Structure 1
Amino acid sequence: MSTTISNSFSRRAFLRTSSLAGGGMLIGFNLFTACKNEAKMPVDIASLNFNDFNAFIKIADNGMVTIYSPNPEIGQGVKTSMPMIIAEELDVPWDEVHVEQGILSTKDYTRQVAGGSQSIRHGWDALRQTGATAKQMLINAAAAKWGVDASECTASGGVITNAKGETLGYGDVVKEAAILEIPDEVALKDPKDYTIIGTDAGNVDIEKIVTGKPLFGLDYKTEGMVIASVLRPPSFGKKLESFDDSSVRKMEGVIDVIRFGDFKGGGDKIAVLANTTWQAMKAKEALSAEWSDGTPMESTSNHDKLLTDLLDGTSFNTLRKDGDVEKAFRNADQVVERTYGSPFLPHNCMEPMNFYADVSANKIHLVGPIQTPERTAARVAELLERNSEEVHLEMTRMGGGFGRRLYGDFVMEAAEISHLAKKPVKVVYSREDDMSAGIYRPAIKYRIKAALKDGKISGYHLKEASINSNMYGLIPNFFPAGALENYQVDVAKYDSNITTGAWRAPYTNFLSFAEQSFFDEIAETLEIDPVQMRLDMLQKVKGTTDERIQYSAERMEDVINLAVEKSGYGNPKDGVYQGFCAYYCHNTHVAEVADVLIENNEPVVKKVIVAVDCGIVVNPLGALNQIEGGVVDGVGHAMYGNFTFKDGAPEMNNYDRYRLIRMKEAPKVETHFVKNTLSPTGLGEPTLPPAGAAVSIAMKKATGNRMYRQPFVENMVEKEIIG
């Protein structure tokens, strides 16, 4: 049945007008917190150029609907799925909807962010309310035109029908709807009545993508724009002493050479401005620069020892402690302790970092691919000592992000260079720039210790040692928190001059492998079934009153049972070795089973069966893309990903030395959804973390050897499992 809710939209916040060019109805809305009452009506709405709000519905006289999608599109599909939710409640045919990317608005709306797999989860209620409110206004307008009560009218497929069977299209009443009051209550659809949500919808940009139409930051051009290629310190910790640009300035196409990095014209970076990208990059390579040591030069071998020393030390921050862990270990029948290690990893987006900036006296115009437009715009205003109202930021589609584009360092570079050069500039990274001047996944080590008593886990202690940053406060409240009486999580970090940050599924991308591999080894030690061990642990969490617990024991149980059923886990075909993992992160419950075969005397990942509970699946086609991409990414980086430093400099700066999974190595991914009508959660990240764990457990069964650090291939070479 449908749900009637009180409307949180005010007239002022829910803009509508018939004064658009060609007539029609324009609706502005807040995707995440409904509409703020203080949102102001423009004085001359006829001149509105869609720059004053971050999202709109525009209904034309012919009934066609344009929906402006406000969130950054990073490949996760929100530019398709978020408008689908609005269109569902608005009740218009999806093939009559046109979608366009909105721009940044810091005044009226919140969370224009692509990160944490949160866009759909946070936008769900407000998106539905927006569509339902617009629909009710159109119904009310039609009812007034007919002189009947609105309760006698229904709307479907962009057409309003009264009790007599008379019909009016949305375009027929859009002008009348524009002058009506916002309804106090609106009805939301029952999920069983959905006609758009839950159906496959192709990417709204797919035609432009496959035909090469301008969409991405690298496509953006303006009259008078120059390209900037930046020479940065060759190692983390180096400082620029001097440089000679005399020969570079004579090179073809070179316009200027600028030292920058501290806003006033100094700093440790050099920008070469040229007419074309190739000219700028070749000129940068020809620069002669002298560098001095600023801070200690770090190497991967030092990091390994530093992390081990941290684990052996006592300087920890305790994030969670339940029961008496020390007593559990004193009274244990057996103690099992293992250490797991992971390397730094770059992001390697298909589209290298780039951004456009035109800094003038009255405006800072920014255009490009960024996951955090609001925060980045604020940082640019602060850097240039300007008012934030002067910053106008337009988002382009991103050719990958994975967390790298959360950080606007490349935007800051473009803005500072434009400010100093007094002209529009687009900074473009080469692949080598992208990999050597990156913000990396931090190297981490986990040490996990379990006390075993009477055939069960009686105590559990997880220690994390990380370069620069420690796990988020929520992660200690993921499974197995609440399932064990004596449970403790401690963290310690080493502050490095190597820049680190979020990498797809932060922390959980490696923590899942460590913890879930450890559980499998505990089950083996206790001689119990690893799946049943997890199910038994989950029973202790059901009905918990501990509000810190983030996962649902019932939903975790559902994905476990579904994965076991669909994979035939426990009864594999001859020659198939299966690894099981169940994990919760980014508000979504996932279980995965990896099938590994031995081919040519080497283990090969052939298939991964995935069970997912992400609530209502808005766009199944898009959901499958995210799930499959996450699994392949998780398998690939666990198997092959490694990134090392020597004297502060990355030892890999292109794909000739940095190993990614190849197409022929990508496993088949088979996905099954737990069907329910719960609000949707994220899918961009949750299937990546369990993949490495499931593969490592299957590898153990196939080879007899456990993996304790990533990448697995290097482990297997060292152990002579593969040649």
Structure 2
Amino acid sequence: MKTNDKITFSRRNFIRTSALASGGLLIGFNFFNSCKEATVPPVDISKLDFKDFNAFIKIAENGYVTIFSPNPEIGQGVKTSMPMIIAEELDVPWDHVSVEQGALDTKNFQRQVAGGSQSIRFGWDALRQTGATAKQMLVNAAAAKWGVDASTCTASNGIIKNSNGEKLGYGDVVNEAAQLEVPENVTLKSPKDYKIIGKGAINVDIDKIITGKPLFGSDYVAEGMLIASVSRPPAFGQKLISFDETEAKSINGVKRIVQFGDKVAVLATNTWAAMKGKKALNVNWSSSNDLESSSQHNEELDAILNSKNLDLRREDGNIDKAFAEADQILERTYQSPFLPHNCMEPMNFYANVSEDKVHLVGPIQTPAGTARRVADLINRNPEEVHLEMTRMGGGFGRRLYGDFVLEAAEISNITKKPVKVVYSREDDMGAGIYRPAIKYRIKASIKSGEVTGYHLKEAAINSNMYGLIPNFFPAGAIANYKVETGNFQSKITTGAWRAPYTNFLAFAEQSFFDEIADAINKDPVQLRLDLLKNVKDGEDKSIEYSAKRMTDTIKLAAKKGNWGKTNGNTYQGFAAYYSHNTHVAEVVDITLNNGRPIIEKVTVAVDCGIVINPTGAKNQIEGGVIDGIGHAMYGDFSFKNGKPQDLNFGSYRLISMKDTPIVETHFVENDLSPTGLGEPGLPPAGGALANAIKAATGQILLKQPFIKSIKNRKTDLSV
């Protein structure tokens, strides 16, 4: 990446004008290349109301800067890191910057999404262009004021200087800058000149978070708003037959009860009354002979793996010949359960459907797509839908799906009242959408101490290709390589869960590679490095990972984790994985206490390109690792006759503080464009932990959660 090249782009991407009566400069910018070509930004700032741009910069006459962050904030830190990129190129002190959440523009712009760890990756170039363009406009204004050539002027820390030593602050020239043409050519900084990028910055919302200021959807209040608690079918496949609302109506605060589809909403003046009213409903649900149970799912997945009619995803070489000529064949089947998302903040959303517009407010990862779905549901023009995003108390993929937004909009449309749907924890865990149960069967052939063949089969609930990436490692590293998938269609709603595609596959494959290493008497780290030598980056365009970057990441993790150099009381496990455009390797250290594995430390190496905010980046990696270890060790969720068996934390176990390891993170240093961090730390964690447990006990773990399989476990490990 050439960071200091001149960048050329169309003036249509910008709007700049004097900012209302207070003066100053406002620059709006189309952040993403995916935005529509026909975008025509408004020119009347009085009508902007901060709703008609993906993002923009406001520079006040005192030189202070407000940067509007476009993407949903779910704790991944984009509300801090994206403005840092703009501020870097704008060359303004970070303590002179304030950050506000931008609103959705459903007409002109796209990719206002939090998902797939793609926000920084997609926004990197455009964010830098935005800051650099704003700076050049200010420099041009100062040069015009001095009567000198702009090329003789420099800007740094909010101050513009000319060759004569004269100085002007940004605030001194913002009004003049607003009258100038937008420059089409700007020069971006070299990484060696960065002052903000690469330096740790605290979360811009931290003061509001720790003092309880309203930030989240749960905090949102509007005049006349009613709280809706919704009664949904308790089992997947059931339908609403009838309900008696007599007792629910008698509860103080309950105002109205509404049926919509197979659901019943109790509307009240407060959350407690709404939830109490829902419990008081006497609901009659249908019964059925085909309601699914986890035992059935297990059988269906086995049948898929044994089938001859799977979908072929990739085939290199001759896998049958490799197995026929093998000295040794290894085969394992790995299994994972359904998992709920369990966001700290349960689902909620506000809707006010009126004749003039549809006003939506709340935490959603896919605001544009959700707004369109609402418009379709209630038969409104998409331009009438205005959606405002709040901060989210966790997303992990659950808030990609706007089912709870649709509920709020439909209830408001029926009642003609402003409504906020609020889930209880039981609602959150019982209503879907789950990570699907999956099984993988992996088979490898070994000839003369080398891996000659690799056959991977996936069987998933609802979605083939959900958990399988055929062009990730070891694609290209093994000459004879085959990937197949199949799926069982279930009534149980499933979808993306943190690090989709890889959150369980990484455990299966990385555990299997350790078994291969044992079979050929080779160090597990060295096995991976040797296989990566077979991959020539760029030769096979379908391969998505970089062998060089993965090699460097593995070596860094092994070095920083003191791989193979621990004392006799510490056992280590290793895993390396590429996902969401980022390479990650992890070393897990455990000890044993009366046979019980104690996870002491996880050393992580990450190649995510340029690290924008090291403080936030480390938080993302640590959170992903702990999340991955916790769910691999304890996460379990099952169904009986279509009904979820765990609806709260009394029976569903999450990782606790006493089980949380130290996580030490190291970044591969380079000047490559940044990639995602919200998800890639999670996939290798389960595999590294399983391999550490195998090193300590000799036990091979094939199922998650591990706690159900670990031999000689103590009673304090059970839920």
Q: State the Cα deviation string for residues 642-674 of structure 1 (Å, max 9, x = none).
A: 001110000000000001000010010011111
1:386-465 aligned at under 5 Å gives the runs 386-465=380-459
* Mapped partners of 1:567, 1:425: distance in 2: 52
Q: State the Cα deviation string for residues 483-540 of structure 1 (Å, max 9, x = none).
A: 0111011000000000000000012110000001001001101111111111111111
Q: 2:601 aligns with which of 607, 623, 627?
A: 607
How far residue 602 of structure 1 moved from its aligned partner, in angstroms, is: 1.1
The reply on whether 1:5 has 2:6 as its aligned counterpart is yes
Structure 2 CA distance for partners of 1:397 and 1:614, relative to 1, 3 Å:
same
Residues 234 and 643 of structure 2 are in contact (CA less than 8 Å); yes or no, is this contact kept in structure 1?
yes
Runs of 4+ in structure 1 displaced over 6 angstroms? 718-723
Q: 1:480 aligns with which of 467, 474, 481?
A: 474
Give the match for residue 302 of structure 2.
308
Structure 2 CA distance for partners of 1:443 and 1:132, relative to 1, 3 Å:
same
1:532-543 aligned at under 5 Å gives the runs 532-543=526-537
Give the match for residue 96 of structure 1.
96
The reply on whether 1:709 has 2:703 as its aligned counterpart is yes
SS of alignment partner, residue 476 of structure 1 = coil
Structure 2 CA distance for partners of 1:347 and 1:295, relative to 1, 3 Å:
farther
Give the match for residue 156 of structure 1.
156
Amino acid at match of 1:164: N
SS of alignment partner, residue 62 of structure 2 = coil
Amino acid at match of 1:519: F
* Mapped partners of 1:477, 1:702: distance in 2: 32
Q: 1:681 aligns with which of 662, 675, 686?
A: 675
* Mapped partners of 1:572, 1:63: distance in 2: 54
Amino acid at match of 1:146: W
SS of alignment partner, residue 394 of structure 1 = strand
The reply on whether 1:659 has 2:653 as its aligned counterpart is yes
1:128-143 aligned at under 5 Å gives the runs 128-143=128-143
Give the match for residue 334 of structure 1.
328
Scaled by the length of structure 2, what TM-score is found? Answer: 0.98
* Mapped partners of 2:550, 2:361: distance in 1: 42
Amino acid at match of 1:175: N
> Could you say what the CA RMSD is over the residues aligned between the two structures, in angstroms?
1.5
Give the match for residue 210 of structure 2.
210
SS of alignment partner, residue 68 of structure 2 = strand
* Mapped partners of 1:34, 1:154: distance in 2: 33
Unpaired stretches in structure 2, ≥5 consecutive residues: none
Give the match for residue 264 of structure 1.
none
Q: 2:489 aligns with which of 492, 495, 507?
A: 495
How far residue 718 of structure 1 moved from its aligned partner, in angstroms, is: 8.0
Comparing 712-721 with 482-491, greater Cα deviation is found at 712-721
The reply on whether 1:147 has 2:147 as its aligned counterpart is yes
The reply on whether 1:247 has 2:247 as its aligned counterpart is yes
How far residue 19 of structure 1 moved from its aligned partner, in angstroms, is: 4.2
The reply on whether 1:105 has 2:108 as its aligned counterpart is no
SS of alignment partner, residue 660 of structure 1 = coil
How far residue 472 of structure 1 moved from its aligned partner, in angstroms, is: 5.1
Comparing 37-46 with 461-470, greater Cα deviation is found at 37-46
Structure 2 CA distance for partners of 1:21 and 1:244, relative to 1, 3 Å:
same
The reply on whether 1:228 has 2:222 as its aligned counterpart is no
SS of alignment partner, residue 139 of structure 2 = helix
SS of alignment partner, residue 385 of structure 1 = coil
Amino acid at match of 1:7: T
Residues 30 and 55 of structure 1 are in contact (CA less than 8 Å); yes or no, is this contact kept in structure 2?
yes
SS of alignment partner, residue 187 of structure 2 = strand
Q: State the Cα deviation string for residues 123-162 of structure 1 (Å, max 9, x = none).
A: 0000001100110011011001100000000000011000
Residues 35 and 110 of structure 2 are in contact (CA less than 8 Å); yes or no, is this contact kept in structure 1?
no
Q: 1:279 aligns with which of 251, 256, 273?
A: 273
Amino acid at match of 1:48: L
Give the match for residue 618 of structure 1.
612
How far residue 295 of structure 1 moved from its aligned partner, in angstroms, is: 7.4
* Mapped partners of 2:343, 2:19: distance in 1: 43
* Mapped partners of 1:717, 1:346: distance in 2: 26
* Mapped partners of 2:644, 2:13: distance in 1: 50
Residues 468 and 505 of structure 2 are in contact (CA less than 8 Å); yes or no, is this contact kept in structure 1?
no
Comparing 529-538 with 442-451, greater Cα deviation is found at 529-538
Structure 2 CA distance for partners of 1:719 and 1:600, relative to 1, 3 Å:
closer
How far residue 293 of structure 1 moved from its aligned partner, in angstroms, is: 3.2
Give the match for residue 298 of structure 1.
292
* Mapped partners of 2:161, 2:34: distance in 1: 28
SS of alignment partner, residue 709 of structure 2 = helix
Amino acid at match of 1:16: R
SS of alignment partner, residue 503 of structure 2 = helix
How far residue 601 of structure 1 moved from its aligned partner, in angstroms, is: 2.8
The reply on whether 1:356 has 2:350 as its aligned counterpart is yes
Give the match for residue 167 of structure 2.
167
* Mapped partners of 2:214, 2:467: distance in 1: 41
The reply on whether 1:318 has 2:319 as its aligned counterpart is no
Q: 1:596 aligns with which of 587, 590, 607?
A: 590
Calculate percent identity across the aligned residue pairs.
Answer: 66
The reply on whether 1:529 has 2:539 as its aligned counterpart is no
Q: State the Cα deviation string for residues 189-229 of structure 1 (Å, max 9, x = none).
A: 00000000000100000000000000000000000000000
Give the match for residue 122 of structure 2.
122
The reply on whether 1:385 has 2:386 as its aligned counterpart is no
Residues 13 and 35 of structure 1 are in contact (CA less than 8 Å); yes or no, is this contact kept in structure 2?
no
* Mapped partners of 2:114, 2:586: distance in 1: 25
SS of alignment partner, residue 277 of structure 2 = helix
Comparing 312-321 with 515-524, greater Cα deviation is found at 312-321
How far residue 48 of structure 1 moved from its aligned partner, in angstroms, is: 2.6
* Mapped partners of 2:349, 2:71: distance in 1: 18
1:27-42 aligned at under 5 Å gives the runs 27-33=27-33, 38-42=38-42
Residues 9 and 37 of structure 1 are in contact (CA less than 8 Å); yes or no, is this contact kept in structure 2?
no
How far residue 233 of structure 1 moved from its aligned partner, in angstroms, is: 0.3
Amino acid at match of 1:527: N
Residues 71 and 102 of structure 2 are in contact (CA less than 8 Å); yes or no, is this contact kept in structure 1?
yes
SS of alignment partner, residue 18 of structure 2 = coil
Aligned residues: 716
Residues 237 and 295 of structure 1 are in contact (CA less than 8 Å); yes or no, is this contact kept in structure 2?
no
* Mapped partners of 1:344, 1:41: distance in 2: 45
How far residue 701 of structure 1 moved from its aligned partner, in angstroms, is: 1.0
Structure 2 CA distance for partners of 1:230 and 1:36, relative to 1, 3 Å:
closer
Residues 580 and 694 of structure 1 are in contact (CA less than 8 Å); yes or no, is this contact kept in structure 2?
yes
How far residue 108 of structure 1 moved from its aligned partner, in angstroms, is: 2.6
How far residue 41 of structure 1 moved from its aligned partner, in angstroms, is: 4.2
* Mapped partners of 1:75, 1:342: distance in 2: 26
* Mapped partners of 1:27, 1:472: distance in 2: 41
How far residue 38 of structure 1 moved from its aligned partner, in angstroms, is: 3.5
Residues 34 and 126 of structure 1 are in contact (CA less than 8 Å); yes or no, is this contact kept in structure 2?
no
Q: 1:645 aligns with which of 633, 639, 642?
A: 639
Give the match for residue 263 of structure 1.
none
* Mapped partners of 2:225, 2:681: distance in 1: 41
How far residue 34 of structure 1 moved from its aligned partner, in angstroms, is: 8.5
Structure 2 CA distance for partners of 1:449 and 1:399, relative to 1, 3 Å:
same
* Mapped partners of 2:228, 2:520: distance in 1: 61
Amino acid at match of 2:506: S
Residues 15 and 43 of structure 2 are in contact (CA less than 8 Å); yes or no, is this contact kept in structure 1?
no
Q: State the Cα deviation string for residues 161-184 of structure 1 (Å, max 9, x = none).
A: 000010111111111111111212
SS of alignment partner, residue 21 of structure 1 = coil
